Structure 1
């Protein structure tokens, strides 16, 4: 039997997995309703369009894009396609696109029982509604959403093992994925990215930095609820201080400084944008700051940081 591969599970107890799943379900119920539910996707889209035009001088239409880590719901890919982009995507986990039993069985074989069940439940509880909302939002903007992919658009594998032709893409994007890639694979991937990109292209990579308050990926400290006074078992920066709980996912634990060093080997870093400046400041009392004294304020208040990258000119 082939080895099951997944990017979303970790060696934690069954009890902790249930607790994390319950918290995720609770957070999903608290999400915005209606059109507000898909606002984040359009914010990302506008950011991509503006940065691509600024640094590459290209519109999003007909732009060749690679998304690294499209996730269980490739909504970002679908949205970009509706705006005329030519997009490919790669992820370790198979997506549940149509809710078919055959898809669930395939996910079970490739990524395990846990991933299959989570995908099935999420599809019928949340995904169908979210797709309808996104379809309506796209129509209101004069576009048409088509939720379908050809075989050469979705790759289910380790991104670092892919081999694309040089200069095949104008834009590479990734959201909340690089922190889940083992460091050896990440170094290999970054090296390949610079060759995959057109010399005039850019990469927009947004990892969730480990040293930020949400960097431990504990559901109680996900960005939308960091400032809430919800009842929690864990403490602020639990993953750096107490370390009593583990997330249900693999983390490479890279700091912002370490990402910067890795990217700068092959790319010029044009910008770094923190999605939620000062996130966690509410909880940073003198006692906790003392415990975290080995970390700079930049690291502590990093969360989802967008690195805008341009390939360095490689001298022959």
Structure 2
């Protein structure tokens, strides 16, 4: 059976979610501005790496867990002199070759293959050109070349690296999609793979936040938009009538703290969108969600800055 990161939902819900995602993509910022989020992440990585290790991205050994369908972050890091490796459950469509689509079909299924093919020609090629221009404006040249030795397509917890292999391990919006058995294997491995002076920057989308259900109507970019919605605020914690087209482990911020603290010192927690969804937390909804603290309800995407306990 093909392995992939999607979840079993009805065809009707799948089409609705895919249509919403397409509309969001079409209304995203265009041109150089669309790449600003990647440069913001890069600046944050550099800041934290220097603050806690004295190193910078240049010449650092970096491992990304869950680089996604478009390994743009890896390309940016490489362009700034990092030595980068990455892993993802789904194979990306990088070069527009028929053999790639066949491989994606076999390993990740027909749905993933079709989506990858369409996305490549609608968005991916223009995105890469835009990123290359943005990097040039910063005085660098884009490096979008990935060797077979640097890309892995599997459950990250199945990998094996030597101790002290990396200075920095990063993950963005991925840990919420990893099963608990895999997390219990992966987290100790991350601590083992990191240099004693290394850093892990893990940013999951916390389930208890308003965006935690991963419904497109409540993505961080749409929470404050006045749009017609079928679902309600914190739908996934309340009526739970709709399902996203992806697996979620449903971990809370408290759960992540407990998991990480077994093998790491948690140096910082940074909420990317403080109080996101506050305008939707009416007294009625707050009463309905009274078992959850505001710390959980407004968590959304939280960066855990982690130092391994050696």
Q: Normalized against structure 1, the TM-score is what?
A: 0.97
Q: Deviations for 1:185-224, whole angstroms, at most 9, x for unmatched residues? A: 1011001010000000000000000000000000110000
Per the TM alignment, residue 146 of structure 1 is displaced from its structure 2 partner at its CA by: 2.2
Q: Does 1:22 align with 2:19?
A: yes
Q: Does 1:237 align with 2:234?
A: yes
* SS of residue matched to 1:233: coil
- How many residues in Structure 1 have an aligned counterpart in Structure 2? 310
* SS of residue matched to 2:46: helix
Per the TM alignment, residue 290 of structure 1 is displaced from its structure 2 partner at its CA by: 0.6
Aligned to 1:37: 34
Counterpart CA distance in 2 for 1:16 and 1:243 is 13
Could you tell me which runs of 5 or more consecutive residues in structure 1 were left unpaired when the two chains were aligned.
none
Structure 1 stretches (4+) deviating beyond 2 angstroms?
none
Q: Does 1:145 align with 2:142?
A: yes
* SS of residue matched to 1:239: helix
* SS of residue matched to 2:161: coil
Question: Which of the residues 194, 199, 217 maps onto 1:197?
Answer: 194
Q: Does 1:87 align with 2:80?
A: no
Q: Deviations for 1:22-75, whole angstroms, at most 9, x for unmatched residues? A: 000011011011111100000000000110000010011110000000000000
Aligned to 1:13: 10
Q: Does 1:121 align with 2:118?
A: yes
Counterpart CA distance in 2 for 1:304 and 1:99 is 32
Could you tell me which runs of 5 or more consecutive residues in structure 2 were left unpaired when the two chains were aligned.
none
Q: Normalized against structure 2, the TM-score is what?
A: 0.99
Please list, as runs of the form range in 1=range in 2, the aligned pairs for 1:35-74 lying within 5 A after superposition: 35-74=32-71
Aligned to 1:221: 218
Please list, as runs of the form range in 1=range in 2, the aligned pairs for 1:175-190 lying within 5 A after superposition: 175-190=172-187
Moved more, 74-83 or 94-103: 94-103
Question: Which of the residues 254, 258, 271 maps onto 2:255?
Answer: 258
Q: Does 1:296 align with 2:303?
A: no
Counterpart CA distance in 2 for 1:82 and 1:28 is 25
Per the TM alignment, residue 105 of structure 1 is displaced from its structure 2 partner at its CA by: 1.2
Aligned to 1:154: 151
Per the TM alignment, residue 101 of structure 1 is displaced from its structure 2 partner at its CA by: 1.7
Per the TM alignment, residue 99 of structure 1 is displaced from its structure 2 partner at its CA by: 1.6
Per the TM alignment, residue 142 of structure 1 is displaced from its structure 2 partner at its CA by: 1.1
Aligned to 1:306: 303
